[in-house]
Chains A and B, each alone.
Chain A
Amino acid sequence: MQRTISFTLNGKPARVTVDDQRTLLWVLRGDFGLTSVKFGCGAALCGACTVIVEKAAVRSCATPIKDVAGKRVLTIEGLSQDRELHPIQDAFLKRHAFQCGFCTPGMILSAYALLLKTPRPARAEIIRHMDDNLCRCGSHVRIVEAIQEAAGSMKGGAR
């Protein structure tokens, strides 16, 4: 059904009039030009399309746009405040916790959701939380280390 959906996107009010069954992924990429939200599998199996809705990491490829009406949506474009990198981004940068970079926005946002909920996660918790985010380049070791480092530098004060 064609409908106008209003929501908050990266801290600013957003409106779009679309078929309300369209997925958040393609609305963000196609209608809002937010190309950091990646298409990897289209079936919530890889995590490349991960965005934050309210405080949770969701797979935008499996989320109809109607589900975010009235909610706050965050993509990585909205993560760095005042152009300063978020501590998670900073840790990924310093530790080179990426290679091809295609899964990276989804990885960082999944980690962001984890640290909101669990500011000082144990290694096992990080691994459990991140397990459905796939990385083909094999950057896993560094991603885990980067999340640990970010948790440390945020001193439990997740934002």
Chain B
Amino acid sequence: MSPENPTRREVLGLAGSGLFVIFPAQTPRPGYPADFNAYLRIDADGRVTCLVGKVELGQGSKTALAQLLAEELDVALESVDMVMGDTDVCPWDGGTHGSLSIRQFGPVLRGAAAEARAVLLELAAERLGAPVGRLQVKAGVVTDSQAAGQRVTYAQLVQGKRIERHLEKTPLKAVAGYTVVGQSPRRKDALDKVTGRAKYAGDMAVPGTLHARILRPPAHGATLKDADTTAAEKVAGVRVVKDGDMVAVLHERRDVADQVLDLIKARFDRPRPGQDDKTIFDHLLKAAPEGRVVDQSGDIVQGAQASENLVEKTYLNSYVAHAAMETHSATAMIEGGKVTVWVGTQSPFGVQQQVAQALGFTPQNVRVVTPYVGGGFGGKSAARQAIEAARLAKLTGKPVQVVWDRAEEFFYDTFRPAAVVTIVSGLTRAGKISVWDYKVYCAGDRECKQFYDIPHQRTVSAGGWSGASTPGLHPFGIGPWRAPSVNTNTFARESHIDILANKAGVDPVEFRLGHLSDKRVRRVLEAAAKQFDWKPAPTPSRRGVGVACAIYLGTYVATMAEVTVDKSTGRVEVKRVVCAQDQDVTVSPDGSRQQMESSITMGLGYALTEEVRFKDGEVLERNFDTYRIPRFSWLPKIETVLIENPETPASGCGEPPIVTMGAVVANAIFDAVGARMFQLPMTPARILEALKRG
């Protein structure tokens, strides 16, 4: 075997989402196209191409969306090829986030497929000379139920052409008729991923590519004074680019570029001393924008008066990194006035606009291709690396690849914001919650509204996770992190409910049920309790068991956990997690379970270890030695319970259980040792401190 020199043709053929031109490029616009041809094409050989602006981050959308299309169109799932996140050929999309691919985009795709099927049936009726009512369709073959042997395939009807006929309002298939949705097929990305053939943005080896390393400041807010690149320029084959605020070195070998970057002698002006990971919470309380009442009923003052005593607590959580295994990566190539950028992104159409703006190109001259993405979790909505690669490709006239190293990944990550929640509440003499006064600072208002039966309550939210928050509020970028706002809000609410249950001397499950008229929350809670074999007892029972409930954008979860706490070291081990989830129609039960396991495992990180330490704009986390993410040795026994709810359309499942992980572990810790945790992550040091506090 010799070093490979792939031809351009081969390289282009490698693109994960396919690069064949299907229809003339559509002008991106903020809305889903009405013409179903934008979403599907039927080839003469019977294969069906499904085009979507969503991307495959690992969450399984490539398979679940193919299932939805196959179901409504009545074609075999195996015959569907997915093309995802390519701005030249896929219909516009607002981004892959918020567990929206199934909940929000699903109906759009199903509608397109249902209309296409209805048109195909009309065409078949004309061809076969039989009324539509007599026709049946299975796996893309239309037959006449009253004339044996009368058949025509979709492929024969369409012959690879665009379907010009359209219909108004086509009904969607009834859930009872589903044969593909509700199954757990082999994932469409499985073979690519277990063979190593799956390509990511940093795997696009366009011939002649230069690998770029960019000079980074030591801290956010630092400005470059000067950079001496003399030594770097002497290295054979190196190009040094200085353009405005950007200093970069480029070489055809990535590791040579790494070494050359170290040869630059740069001086920076450091920012004035600012916040660190300990002072940040006071700062947020002072600097947060004005709060907004999200929900209110009854009268807070009257509720407080009806309380025996008030319980006032403050809950904190630190900044948390996305830390996807694939760092931000992009490869850019300019040819004939048009730039193609392969980007690991959750938002190809957003990146298209950003790159167009940065280069001064029209969006039509920017093609963003999204190969497989090596994890997103909200962190790949921002795509600074794509702009960097495109700028450098323009400046050098060569294809350029930018793959951040792990330190850059931590530095430019858009963290889950640090946040503060204050809750004032009280119990009546009868042990009922009489008042709930909730204020969340800087996490955001998603699902901050509580769902327990409380007569007097108010929920206020001040500031959020959107990157466009008050300038100077956060010392670095922040943004959505798997289930934005809701990890913070659920930790605070469910911890506080547990404190009230403890004050009332009532078992925490019984206490919750005593304040819950929401049937779907009750149902998941009861389902979790059954699977867990929850034995009622007031806390702390010394068994180390805990519970937490949540509603996440229409999906309902209840989680129970069992932990052990080593009182001498403060170390927590989560032994078992049971999670019940009610998510309406389930597209793929195995896919849903996988997302639940994923949420539970990932959630252990923000609960126990994950915390971005920083000082004066410098991010102290640079790699996985200090920033500890969940590992095999942390694995609890995980049991998932899926509750079918076939009367309502499918909702999302990529995020819900993660929101309960902070509170369920905190509540289990309290049950184990009687120490209440008010800050995430619940590190051994904080647990020892809480034990000392008593």
Interface size (A, Cβ < 8 Å)? Answer: 65
B376: chain A residues within 8 A (beta carbon): 100
A94-106 near B? 1/0 per residue, CB < 8 Å = 1010111111110
**A30 and B58 in contact (CB under 8 A), knowing A12-B1, A136-B324?**
no
Closest to A10 in B: B1
B632 touches A144 (CB 8 A): yes
Contact of B194 among A32, A89, A100 (CB under 8 A): A89
Contact of A140 among B195, B377, B601 (CB under 8 A): B601
* CA distance in complex: A48, B325 (Å): 8
Interface size (B, Cβ < 8 Å)? Answer: 63
Q: Tell me, yes or no, whether A117 is within 8 Å of chain B by CB.
A: no
Q: Tell me, yes or no, whether B165 is within 8 Å of chain A by CB.
A: no
A100 touches B2 (CB 8 A): no
Q: Tell me, yes or no, whether A121 is within 8 Å of chain B by CB.
A: no
B406 touches A41 (CB 8 A): yes
A101 touches B372 (CB 8 A): yes
A93 touches B624 (CB 8 A): no
From residue 311 to 351 of chain B, which have CB atoms closer than 8 A to chain A?
323-327
Q: Tell me, yes or no, whether A159 is within 8 Å of chain B by CB.
A: no
* CA distance in complex: A13, B200 (Å): 28
Contact of A99 among B6, B58, B203, B255 (CB under 8 A): B58
Nearest CB in chain A: distance from B203 CB, A = 4
A96 touches B190 (CB 8 A): yes
**A35 and B205 in contact (CB under 8 A), knowing A100-B375, A102-B375, A138-B598?**
yes
Q: Tell me, yes or no, whether A39 is within 8 Å of chain B by CB.
A: yes
A131: chain B residues within 8 A (beta carbon): 631-633
A31: chain B residues within 8 A (beta carbon): 3, 253
A137 touches B375 (CB 8 A): yes
* CA distance in complex: A123, B323 (Å): 27
From residue 100 to 159 of chain A, which have CB atoms closer than 8 A to chain B?
100-105, 108, 126-128, 130-144
Contact of A33 among B6, B377, B638 (CB under 8 A): B6
A93 touches B190 (CB 8 A): yes
Q: Tell me, yes or no, whether B282 is within 8 Å of chain A by CB.
A: no
From residue 1 to 35 of chain B, which have CB atoms closer than 8 A to chain A?
1-4, 6
Q: Tell me, yes or no, whether A62 is within 8 Å of chain B by CB.
A: no
A99 touches B205 (CB 8 A): no
A134 touches B194 (CB 8 A): no
A48: chain B residues within 8 A (beta carbon): 325
A45 touches B1 (CB 8 A): no
B625 touches A43 (CB 8 A): yes
Contact of A76 among B191, B196, B327, B372 (CB under 8 A): B196
B327 touches A39 (CB 8 A): yes
* CA distance in complex: A126, B406 (Å): 27
Q: Tell me, yes or no, whether B469 is within 8 Å of chain A by CB.
A: no
**A9 and B203 in contact (CB under 8 A), knowing A48-B325, A104-B194?**
no
A138 touches B326 (CB 8 A): no
Closest to A42 in B: B405
Q: Which of the listed residues B196, B197, B624 has the most CB atoms from chain A within 10 Å of its own CB?
A: B196
B593-605 near A? 1/0 per residue, CB < 8 Å = 0100111111000
* CA distance in complex: A26, B1 (Å): 16
A133: chain B residues within 8 A (beta carbon): 632
A132: chain B residues within 8 A (beta carbon): 631
* CA distance in complex: A54, B348 (Å): 42
B199 touches A26 (CB 8 A): no
A93 touches B597 (CB 8 A): no
A98 touches B635 (CB 8 A): no
Q: Tell me, yes or no, whether B254 is within 8 Å of chain A by CB.
A: yes
Closest to B56 in A: A100
Nearest CB in chain B: distance from A138 CB, A = 3
* CA distance in complex: A76, B192 (Å): 12
B197: chain A residues within 8 A (beta carbon): 36
B406 touches A102 (CB 8 A): no
Q: Which of the listed residues A15, A75, A98, A136 has the most CB atoms from chain B within 10 Å of its own CB?
A: A136
Q: Tell me, yes or no, whether A63 is within 8 Å of chain B by CB.
A: no
Q: Which of the listed residues B60, B403, B594 has the most CB atoms from chain A within 10 Å of its own CB?
A: B594
Closest to B192 in A: A101
A55: chain B residues within 8 A (beta carbon): none
From residue 609 to 656 of chain B, which have CB atoms closer than 8 A to chain A?
623-625, 629-633, 635, 638
A44-88 near B? 1/0 per residue, CB < 8 Å = 011010000000000000000000000000011100100001000
* CA distance in complex: A114, B293 (Å): 56
Q: Tell me, yes or no, whether B381 is within 8 Å of chain A by CB.
A: no
B253 touches A45 (CB 8 A): no
* CA distance in complex: A39, B4 (Å): 19
Nearest CB in chain A: distance from B417 CB, A = 20
Q: Tell me, yes or no, whether B59 is within 8 Å of chain A by CB.
A: yes
| Given A39-B327, A92-B194, A136-B375, 18 further pairs, Cβ under 8 A | A13-B1, A14-B1, A26-B254, A33-B3, A41-B624, A42-B623, A43-B625, A46-B325, A89-B194, A100-B373, A100-B374, A100-B375, A135-B325, A137-B598, A138-B600, A138-B601, A140-B601, A141-B638
Give me the 8 closest cross-chain CB pairs, A-B, nearest first.
Answer: A36-B196, A100-B58, A138-B601, A102-B374, A99-B58, A101-B193, A33-B4, A138-B598
CB pairs A–B below 8 angstroms (28 shown): A10-B1, A22-B253, A30-B252, A30-B255, A32-B4, A35-B200, A36-B196, A38-B326, A39-B202, A39-B254, A39-B403, A43-B624, A77-B195, A80-B195, A92-B193, A92-B194, A96-B186, A99-B594, A99-B598, A101-B58, A101-B374, A102-B326, A108-B194, A127-B635, A134-B629, A136-B375, A137-B375, A144-B635
Give A residues with C-beta under 8 Å from B: 9-10, 12-16, 22-23, 25-26, 29-33, 35-36, 38-43, 45-46, 48, 75-77, 80, 85, 89-90, 92-94, 96, 98-105, 108, 126-128, 130-144
Give B residues with C-beta under 8 Å from A: 1-4, 6, 57-60, 186-187, 189-200, 202-203, 205, 252-256, 323-327, 372-377, 403, 405-406, 590, 594, 597-602, 623-625, 629-633, 635, 638
